[in-house]
Amino acid sequence: MKLYYKPGACSLSPHIVLREAGLPFDLVKVDLAAKTLPGGSDFRAVNPKGQVPTLALDEGGILTEGAVIVQYIADKVPGSGLIPMAGTMERYRVQELMNFIGMELHKGAVPLFRMMTEVVSDTHRAFAAKVLRGRLAILNQQLEGRSYLTGEIFTVADAYAYTVLSWMPRINFDLSPFPNLKSFAERVAARPAVQATHAAEAR
């Protein structure tokens, strides 16, 4: 497998999951602004969406959409705990969380990034921040009395939530009203696979 990524972007989540799963993979850094690959070729020839994460599969073809990519990876290592078995209620709970993280948190944070300053009005920005605060309060509540989002086992939903939370300093979003989110982010950051992921993306 080959993961197309941009350091610190939402591709961090499948990158973490690949390392947690212990599977072999290659990394390809994408210049998202120019939509080019190392060497200068057009990234859109690989993925017409021009977005990371993109996973090139061993059997050929690509898989896109981070919330689906992480399930594909985790299903390759049954028993890793990264995702409950398909068809179980526990699986739907993880999917419910990932949909919430993707639709409400990931996309909800986008208007707050500095690169959006010219296209997002102050009113829109203030509204987006208010909505995001409310959604983060829900995630904070979900973590009450738990180490990870579904309990004591690290799943793909935790990798995605951690990725989105890692953007909060960059968008000047104060997490101090959410102590469970802060301790969760620290707990995930301390995992050896997560540290290895950050080290690889810093190279």
Ligand X SMILES: N[C@@H](CCC(=O)N[C@@H](CS)C(=O)NCC(=O)O)C(=O)O
Nearer Cβ to ligand X (96/151): 96
Q: How far is the CB of 51 from ligand X (least distance, A)?
A: 3
Sign of CA dihedral 135, 108, 158, 87: positive
Q: If binding is defined by CB under 6 A, does position 52 make contact with ligand X? A: yes
Task: Tell me the C-alpha distance between 203 and 172, whole Å.
Answer: 25
Cα radius of gyration rounded to whole Å, the chain: 17
Which range touches ligand X (CB under 6 A), out of 50-58, 84-92, 176-184, 186-194? 50-58
Fill in the DSSP letter of residue 52.
S
Tokens of 183: 């301790």
Token pair belonging to 138: 């829900």
CB of 60 to ligand X, least distance (A): 20
Asked if 160 contacts 70 with a C-beta cutoff of 8 angstroms, the reply is yes
> According to CB under 6 A, which residues from 112 to 151 bind ligand X?
none
For ligand X, the binding residues in 97-116 under the rule CB under 6 A are 102
Q: How many CB atoms lie within 10 A of CB 180?
A: 16
Closer Cβ to ligand X, 146 or 170, answer by number: 170
Residue 66 C-beta: closest distance to ligand X, Å: 4
Site for ligand X in 30-49 (CB under 6 A): 32
Residues forming a β-bridge with 20: none
Three-state DSSP at 44 gives: helix
Least distance in angstroms from the C-beta of 1 to ligand X: 16
The minimum distance between CB 23 and ligand X, in angstroms, equals: 19
